[in-house]
């Protein structure tokens, strides 16, 4: 049984920051797991 594309994307887990639990907006060129806030706290 095939899922419709809509159902497929709906079933994808939301990307959530492991540091603070905030939902992360997908960024095409970002490989970071943390949200912007936690990344800025860590520095470089
Ligand atoms: Zn965070």
How far away, in angstroms, is 13 Cα from ligand 1 center? Answer: 17
Output the DSSP codes for the chain. -PPPHHHHHHHSPPPB-TTT-PBPPP-TT---SS-HHHHHHH--
- Confidence (pLDDT) at 15: 83
Pairwise CA distance, residues 33 & 8, whole Å:
22
How far away, in angstroms, is 7 Cα from ligand 1 center? Answer: 28
Pairwise CA distance, residues 32 & 39, whole Å:
8
Overall number of domains in the chain: 1
Question: Is the per-residue pLDDT at 24 higher than 70?
Answer: yes
Residues 6+ apart with CB under 8 A from 5: none
pTM higher than 0.75: no
- Confidence (pLDDT) at 29: 61
The model's pLDDT over 10-20, given as tens digits with 9 standing for 90+, comes to: 777 778 888 99
The model's pLDDT over 31-41, given as tens digits with 9 standing for 90+, comes to: 667 888 888 98
Give me the domain span that covers residue 38: 5-42
How far away, in angstroms, is 30 Cα from ligand 1 center? Answer: 14
- Confidence (pLDDT) at 31: 67
């Amino acid at each position: 049984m095939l899922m419709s594309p809509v159902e497929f994307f709906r079933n994808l887990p939301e990307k959530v920051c492991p540091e603070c639990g905030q939902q992360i907006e997908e960024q095409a060129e970002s490989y970071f797991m943390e949200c912007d806030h936690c990344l800025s706290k860590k520095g470089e």
